[in-house]
Chain A
């Protein structure tokens, strides 16, 4: 059964049709990569399915529910979490706090509980902290120990990307959306993250949709690849199938010039 099913999705921005009649499905447990040249509408696609933008037309079915029109925090509660193309952490909060925010939707303590330090609230806080540390430990020593109390703005670029993934993981999602997770990383870091993405599925059971530009990553990690261009799905299939498809090559590189004569 498809975890995520999208039918006829369309979105206009002013005069520009950013997404045009998109049909995509993602099955439980899959890792799907979405690729395409710049401006193809990939991030807009993420914005639409997470509720940060509203589509003009189309259905977005997550599990059995049509989530069009829900607020992003409601969609998150249903189990869809994302990272951002230009890393958007909470800069003045510590590493641990950033991840603990992810647990907000899974907990209930209110202002009064915090003021009167009820046993329920204290227990919940302990659980939140536990879970946050557990999620951070997924990244080994990179975000461990003394790092927990560092402000997230002080982290190195690669660590910030990892932290963003950790924050998304802490929301206990079923579906994880990663927007260019390896952008700006050096080859060693990229390899490490590629393995990590695989582990996200194998160890943690997340279904993953990935927007990527780095074809090595796409090849190594995806079950299936979807190619977008100008808001439309060009091709989908395995990496090998897609990478040799003429339309895809044309989208990225352009049509070869007509020969003279």
Chain B
């Protein structure tokens, strides 16, 4: 949006000096940081990650992770206080660095205390990870007193660096930090990039970056990546407006053209991905795709209609089991042995019935109770599917096996690479449905209900129908995911339909951005693809989810890529706009009438 010129009538105001950085807060952050670092060490994260080198041979992941915590807390401590109305903006001074150093150093001392304790006592009876191996890692094999000093010093420096980030001009921040992040990404995802470059016949790049087969990034490799992305981000940050804004500013037809071209390019790339990336990555993408499909479904229930369904996995199970029962020759009670395509109408029907059954009792329930009741339904479903009592129908703990592969005419899908395409197709369909519903009568009715149920009802929305339809649509999408899952894996077992699945899908849409398709896609990438690619992370996957959930709710509840409506930023307060209009009437400051669609 264009900058507003302040009318000359505004009086110059004396600004009061900014408040200084709070050192006591830095102290508190130091202790919290210390606690965080101790936990990172004691839960075994340091030891497990130490195996992996970020940059061979100098930077192991475990210790880097540990000291990044110190850096983060230094960053928090050194943060200039918020500029308040009537106060001058705060400048970064030595005091900020001091706060960062203090916080970092204190945190490091906490690790020092841990090291001392470990040298005196054997705590493995309680804390299984506090082994001599860990001690060796933390102390760099130095004598304990020396080690404590070294640790505190490194943490203090990390803290100071963290605080220093605030001093960087914006453009440097936007260049340096992403470039560093890319280095880390390249170093962690050696398999992914190795596969990618090999698939694209760029083997020379692989050997340059990762000289040891499957090994980590070398210093040369790190430098190359760093420089390349430094340049890229320098270019990107140099432009006045973001790409998103540029596109929005285009006239309608051109914008549509750009969007179609971009989507088309993306589709073409995605078409080639499974061929290029090989079976391992394709399997991960297939899993991510199924989760994404379900996340889009849950997005309608939670994101549009505001119904927190914690038992969503039940619909996934309904889809999987219905598909299994109708297609597998091993289905215990009833073996029609249809093709998957022929079974789909039954899957949809079963899902719709399940959706109605879940929705009807909860229609007049308040939000948090609804969450718990749906949780209960999900768990009841799992226990019943697992039970011996119902095993004549569902196979009990052994589940149902021998689900035949998907067949569409001449196409026979059996490898992960094959399955990528139908799953991707369903994802596209789900994304289309999501978008179609957003700007529709029911989409608006759901959102109104989410915002304020009693007012929505007072404005004509039939709440019963609204909730029923939201649940049914969500259930149907989840059931598609379930049936594809069953076909791809070849069997269904009750223990795959755990509450953890519901929570994972919920985290995907929250982290990615509720209500926005690219956001949900990003969420699926971050939460499914990444942990599966980084094997060390998979052990701490759920810890990561939990912390991420808390952090997102505290800092950015709208998600990383919020939907367009939430991304709307105002450069000026609405009230000022009204006043401005009043001073200058309907013609802008230049005396020209304001054109439609512009500020």
Contacts and interface: CB of A to CB of B under 8 A. Distances in A.
Interface stretch (B442-450, B530-538, B548-556): B442-450
Nearest to B473: A111
Contacts of A110: 442, 469
A52 B574 contact: no
Interface stretch (A54-62, A145-153, A217-225): A145-153
Nearest to B577: A156
A71 B457 contact: yes
A105 interface: yes
A115 B454 CA distance: 27
A144 B32 CA distance: 51
A121 B447 CA distance: 19
A32 B469 CA distance: 40
A76 to B, nearest CB: 4
Nearest to A145: B596
A94 B410 CA distance: 48
A185 interface: no
Given A72-B457, A90-B451, A145-B596, A104 B574 contact: no
A32 B436 CA distance: 43
A195 to B, nearest CB: 18
B10 interface: no
A136 B458 CA distance: 20
B203 interface: no
A77 B461 CA distance: 10
Instruction: Please indicate which of the listed interface residues B458, B575, B598, B599 has the most CB atoms of chain A within 10 Å of its own CB.
Output: B458
A234 interface: no
Contacts of A93: 444, 447-448, 451, 565
Contact of A128 (B437, B441, B454): B441
Contacts of B597: 145-146
B442 A114 contact: yes
Interface string A133-164: 00000000100011000110011100100000
Contacts of A103: 441
B460 interface: yes
B444 A100 contact: yes
B9 to A, nearest CB: 19
B141 interface: no
A91 B443 contact: no
Interface string A92-110: 1110010011111111011
Contact of A154 (B451, B455, B570, B599): B570
A167 B107 CA distance: 55
A115 B436 contact: yes
Contacts of B459: 73, 76, 81, 101-102, 104-105, 167-168, 171
A145 B581 CA distance: 14
A171 B460 CA distance: 8
B566 interface: yes
B348 to A, nearest CB: 12
A88 interface: yes
A243 B24 CA distance: 61
B447 A90 contact: yes
Contact of A104 (B441, B451, B568): B441
Given A93-B448, A155-B574, A156-B574, A115 B460 contact: no
B574 A114 contact: no
B586 interface: yes
B433 A115 contact: yes
Given A107-B441, A109-B440, A124-B441, A146 B461 contact: no
B14 interface: no
Interface in B565-579: 565-566, 568, 570, 574-575, 578
Nearest to A172: B460
B442 A159 contact: no
Contacts of A52: 454, 457-458
Contacts of B447: 90, 92-93, 97
B192 interface: no
Given A90-B448, A117-B436, A121-B440, A154 B574 contact: yes
B462 A91 contact: no
A92 B566 contact: yes
Contact of B599 (A51, A146, A155): A146
Nearest to A110: B442
A236 interface: no
Given A71-B457, A154-B570, A114 B443 contact: yes
Contacts of A84: 455
A125 interface: yes
Contacts of B439: 125
A11 interface: no
A233 interface: no
Contacts of A82: 458
B436 A101 contact: no
A110 B462 CA distance: 12
A217 B397 CA distance: 72
B452 interface: yes
A32 B217 CA distance: 78
A10 interface: no
Nearest to B470: A111
Contact of B460 (A76, A111, A128, A156): A76
B456 interface: yes
Contact of A88 (B440, B455, B462): B455
B463 interface: yes
A50 interface: yes
Given A73-B462, A91-B451, A102-B460, A111 B442 contact: yes
Contacts of B473: 111
A88 B598 CA distance: 28
A80 to B, nearest CB: 10
Contacts of A73: 457-463
A90 B570 contact: no
Nearest to A149: B568
B576 to A, nearest CB: 9
A155 B463 CA distance: 27
A50 B441 CA distance: 23
A90 B461 contact: no
28 contacts: A71-B463, A72-B454, A81-B459, A88-B452, A90-B447, A90-B451, A90-B456, A93-B444, A93-B448, A101-B444, A101-B448, A101-B456, A101-B459, A106-B460, A107-B441, A111-B473, A113-B440, A114-B440, A115-B437, A141-B586, A145-B597, A146-B598, A146-B599, A150-B574, A154-B568, A154-B570, A155-B574, A159-B574
Q: Which 4 A-B pairs have the closest CB atoms?
A: A105-B460, A114-B440, A90-B451, A72-B458
Given A90-B447, A93-B451, 19 more contacts: A51-B458, A52-B458, A71-B463, A72-B454, A73-B461, A81-B459, A92-B566, A97-B447, A101-B456, A101-B460, A101-B461, A105-B461, A111-B437, A114-B440, A114-B442, A115-B433, A145-B594, A146-B599, A151-B565
Interface of A: 50-52, 71-73, 76-77, 81-82, 84, 88, 90-94, 97, 100-107, 109-111, 113-115, 117, 121, 124-125, 128, 141, 145-146, 150-151, 154-156, 159, 167-168, 171
